[in-house]
Amino acid sequence: MNFQTMPMNTEEEGGYSNLYHLPQHPARHYMSLNINKGHSLPFAVWWPAIFTLFVLCLALTTGMLILGLRGSKAPEGHNENLQGLKEKLCLMSDANSKNNRPACTLCPANWKWVGGDTCFYFSEKKATWQESEDFCFSWNATLLMLKTKSKLINISQILLKQSYWIGLSYGVDGWSWEDGTKLPTKRMDWIDLSFKQNCAYLFYHRSTVYSENCYEKHPWICEKAAVQLI
């Protein structure tokens, strides 16, 4: 019995010995095999793509720096262009009343400026007084109102040889200007009106305002506030 037992112990020891010599880290060995069998590329293959991306980034950064340097010089030329545009478009008034600085006065195309803050339109066509008023209203303007002698003098400098409808008419409350202001009862040497005719016009020859039948046709003068820019 002892003789039979010994081989069995030997086999068990041998079996134990064989199991004892199996690899200690089978999982790690299995992972290394998967990596070697995969499709990952060596670093030598990736290097050209990485280098190309680096060059592109460097070129982009350089371009942005150059544009930034050019942009820092732009305001001077930009300001010169704006100044030139301002000189072409603006009608320079004497001074800005608030800041005592030159102001830029803008008037619509085909409107005239003779100083101050008002633009004037001189029509080339003829129409009745009411038609003339409607035209001015369509431009957010009124027929010319000559409340002061100084304004009459300024307008007279650019008058053509015409008789122009102005914004003075006779109604139930007497003579009044377009904005509703009543004509003063005090005599004005540039206004000579007749109560038989209900609309007023400016006669170029004497720079005087006379009355006329409202259905007669004359050119007209509109006025509106100018746009003021600093």
Q: Which domains are assigned to the chain?
A: 2-70 (no CATH), 104-229 (3.10.100.10)
Q: Say how many C-beta atoms besides its own lie within 10 A of residue 149's C-beta.
A: 12
Do residues 200 and 168 touch, judged by C-beta distance below 8 A? yes
Three-state secondary structure call for residue 202: strand
pLDDT of residue 67: 61
Q: Does residue 176 surpass a pLDDT of 50? A: yes
Q: pLDDT digits over 123-145, tens only?
A: 999 999 999 999 999 999 999 99
Name the residue with higher pLDDT: 185 or 53.
185
The per-residue pLDDT of the chain, averaged, comes to 74
Name the residue with higher pLDDT: 97 or 187.
187
| pTM confidence score | 0.59
What is d(CA 85, CA 146) in angstroms, rounded to the nearest whole number? 33
Hunting for tokens 């041998």 — which residue is that? Answer: 14
Do residues 112 and 158 touch, judged by C-beta distance below 8 A? yes
Three-state secondary structure call for residue 70: helix
Kindly provide the residue ranges of all beta strands, DSSP E only, lying in 21-148, ordered along the sequence: 91-92, 104-106, 112-113, 118-122, 142-143
The fraction of the chain above a pLDDT of 70, given in percent, is 59
The fraction of the chain above a pLDDT of 90, given in percent, is 36
Q: Does residue 72 surpass a pLDDT of 70? A: no
Name the residue with higher pLDDT: 220 or 44.
220
Name the residue with higher pLDDT: 187 or 100.
187
Q: Does residue 80 surpass a pLDDT of 60? A: no
Q: What is the mean pLDDT of residues 194-210?
A: 90
For β-strands 191-192 and 208-212, DSSP reports them as parallel
Q: Of the ranges 14-23, 105-114, 172-181, 205-214, which one carries the lowest mean pLDDT score?
A: 14-23
pLDDT of residue 189: 87
Q: Does residue 122 surpass a pLDDT of 50? A: yes
pLDDT of residue 129: 98
Which of 206, 16, 11, 228 has its CA nearest to residue 107?
228
pLDDT of residue 196: 85
pLDDT of residue 156: 86
| Total number of residues shown for the chain | 230
Q: pLDDT digits over 25-49, tens only?
A: 444 443 443 444 445 556 565 567 6
Which of 223, 222, 218, 224 has its CA nearest to residue 129?
218
Query: Any idea what DSSP says for residue 127?
Result: B
pLDDT of residue 142: 97
